[in-house]
Amino acid sequence: MNMNICFRKEVDSTNDWAKQMAEEGAPEGTLALADSQVLGRGRRGRSWESPAGDNLYMSLILRPEIPPEKASGLTLVMGLSAAQGITDVLRVPVKIKWPNDLVIGEKKFCGILTEMSASRQGIRFVVIGIGINVNNSSFPGELQGKATSLKLERGTVIDKEVILDAVMTAFVKNYKIFLKTQDLSGLVEEYNRILVNRNRPVRVLNPANPFEGVAQGINTFGELLVERADGSVTAVYAGEVSIRGASSYV
């Protein structure tokens, strides 16, 4: 995959910008990168704090030839890649909170928002948006205690470009592995090794049927396997639910 970085100082959301470029025919590997976002978006309709200067806000266009129902695995591929790339260059213990939040200790510093356009013929494009808190020195009230940045964890200012490069290099490698089998079989072991929820009690926030259990790890579809008190195991699909630790965020 050839990476082509397009940069703007300020955008509404790099995901929206990338989707627009994809609609206009931008090829796989086009990366929309911005210094700040006015309307940075998170999952579940939340917003994503996107101040200028400090952090990475970027969205990658992909055009994978896979069935649309397999595309959600790509989000986990990006989460794993970001964790590996950042661990490689900073030597900090990055973990994954399923499906794709990155945490250090108990605090989140990276989120991923994937959007897809598909027709009856299949996937037209996938946009994977990733936000990394690189150099924030503090967080507004409601995020304190839940959010962190790489600078806060390392105690020094971090070069954003080094992080960008490490994350994308890891992604290109893992994307090839994913495409070979069109699932996570080649990556599941490494993903589960750094899964913060593994062997921990979790609460599955499924509106119709919430339940608690112990997370065992993901399967090759990226579903989280949760063992209930009666010993039965339920595979939880990321699109439907989110999870919390039984008593905290992770």
Interacting residues with ligand BTN (CB under 6 A): 13-15, 37, 40-43, 46, 48, 57-59, 101, 111-113, 129-131
Measured distance CA(225)–CA(73) in Å, rounded: 15
Which phi and psi (to 5°) does residue 32 adopt? -90, 115
Nearer to ligand BTN, 127 or 187 (CB): 127
* Shortest Å, Cβ 39 to ligand BTN: 7
CB atoms within 10 A of CB 159: 12
- At 12, list the tokens: 């509404």
Strand partners, 34: 8, 57
Specify the amino acid at residue 9. Answer: K
Strand 4-11 and strand 30-37: the pairing is parallel
* Shortest Å, Cβ 48 to ligand BTN: 4
- At 171, list the tokens: 């992604």
Nearer to ligand BTN, 14 or 192 (CB): 14
Helix (H) or strand (E) holding 119: strand 107-119
Nearer to ligand BTN, 102 or 213 (CB): 102
Nearer to ligand BTN, 59 or 192 (CB): 59
Work out the widest C-alpha separation in the chain, in whole angstroms. 53
Report which of 121, 31, 129, 15 is spatially closest to residue 68, judged by C-alpha positions.
Answer: 121
Nearer to ligand BTN, 213 or 218 (CB): 218
CB atoms within 10 A of CB 156: 10
* Shortest Å, Cβ 68 to ligand BTN: 21
User: Residue with CB nearest ligand BTN?
Assistant: 111
* Shortest Å, Cβ 227 to ligand BTN: 26
* Shortest Å, Cβ 95 to ligand BTN: 15
* Shortest Å, Cβ 80 to ligand BTN: 15
Nearer to ligand BTN, 147 or 215 (CB): 147
